[in-house]
Amino acid sequence: MDDETPTPLWGSITDVPGIRVGHATRTGDGWLTGVTAVIPPPGTVGAVDVRGGGPGTHETDALDPTTLVPTVDAVTLTGGSAFGLASAGGVQQWCLEQGLGFAAGPPSDPSSVLVPIVPAAAVFDLGRGGDLSARPDFALGHEAAGAAGTSTPRGVVGAGTGALAARGTLKGGIGTASITLPGGVVVGALVVLNALGSPLDATTGGLLGTAFVPPGLTRPGLPDPAENARYLGDLAAATAPSAANTTLAVVATNTVLDPARARRTATAAHDGLARSLAPAHTLLDGDTVFALATGEIEVDFTTTVGVQAAAADAVMLAVMDAVLAANGVDRTASGGVAVPSYRERFPSLR
């Protein structure tokens, strides 16, 4: 299997000032899973929009614009399906150790009791390393948060370690991208690609999102038609769709957004999944997008609309980046999966 990770083409979510990302990865001995923690600066407004029919989430109700607390301290993305949501507790504990959280103490000393707000969402990767009991937990979440920094490893890391795509015929993983707008506004995205749908154009084998890449940014090429014909044969022979899917995304911007506009940004960002995956938002996916607004730059109404449009572009680019960054895996020796990467199926693109 290929162990090379290509240079990123479209930036990173950490291009948004103050955003940090940490991964904890477990492979070998039946493991093929992990956790990714996105840590924003204090005071960041958070929102979420769940579009998939099979979501696995934690604390997403707290992000409703009508609830008490508008801010979040971290977002946890995890493997392990619903079991993996336990990792959010580890991220929460790490936040508490940093003095982060909603002040819930008595009026005389509100900060004496801190409750970190850490929403989470999971992808299904159970048993892909061979051991059904090898799944993220509290300790792995704490490790991911502790690893947070401004570099963003991509591909088979963190919550993308056991991810697949296109009915299990392509390796998925972590992808990231950013869009810069006038006035210093930055919109970034991080994606965990584990989709039932395919990120490929069946006619050409090229990435579906290529046609929507904004002007001036790199557009991936098309593979050799013979390679695509071979891949389509494998896809046709793939087993029936299972419920082991879900694509997750975190979108971040350095603008001021209230909770309602942050929610609308998360909603708009789902368009990036629809442009880069076919199909998306199925009953067998738990597609979920979080939005974070760090509040650095005040923006007018027109720019707010531009941020929402850029959120869709950033998610689309991050999906394509996940496809390009992922390496193939072979865990058949431990009873797990063997799945090639996009680059291995289409070597002409190298």
Cα separation, 333 vs 330, in Å, equals: 8
What is the tens place of the pLDDT at every residue in 85-111? 999 999 999 999 999 999 999 999 999
Burial class (CB in 10 A: 0-12, 13-18, 19+), 173: buried
- 289 forms beta bridges with 49, 249
pLDDT of residue 55 exceeding 80: yes
Q: How confident is the model at residue 241 (pLDDT cuts 50, 70, 90)?
A: low
Section 206-221 average pLDDT:
95
Name the average pLDDT for the chain: 95
Tokens 């507790």 belong to 89
Section 156-183 average pLDDT:
97
pLDDT of residue 350: 75
Amino acid at 316: M
What is the tens place of the pLDDT at every residue in 267-320? 999 999 999 999 999 999 999 999 999 999 999 999 999 999 999 999 999 999
pLDDT of residue 103: 96
Section 59-77 average pLDDT:
96
Section 11-36 average pLDDT:
98
Section 24-29 average pLDDT:
96
Cα separation, 10 vs 3, in Å, equals: 21
pLDDT of residue 150: 94
Pick the CATH number of 13-349 from 1.10.240.10, 3.40.30.10, 3.60.70.12, 3.40.50.300: 3.60.70.12
Among left, alpha and beta (phi > 0; psi -120 to 50; other), residue 145 is: alpha
Q: How far is CA 264 from CA 48, 54, 129, 270, 309, in A?
A: 9, 21, 37, 10, 11
In eight-state DSSP terms, residue 304 is H
Q: Are residues 282 and 32 in contact, defined by beta-carbon separation less than 8 angstroms?
A: no
pLDDT of residue 3: 62
Q: How confident is the model at residue 240 (pLDDT cuts 50, 70, 90)?
A: low
Q: How confident is the model at residue 1 (pLDDT cuts 50, 70, 90)?
A: low
pLDDT of residue 236: 85
* All structural domains of the chain with their residue ranges: 13-349
> Dihedral of CA 86/91/97/101: which sign?
negative
pLDDT of residue 234 exceeding 90: no
Tell me the three state secondary structure of residue 129.
coil
Q: Are residues 320 and 276 in contact, defined by beta-carbon separation less than 8 angstroms?
A: yes
Section 224-250 average pLDDT:
87
pLDDT of residue 235: 85
Quote the pTM value: 0.96
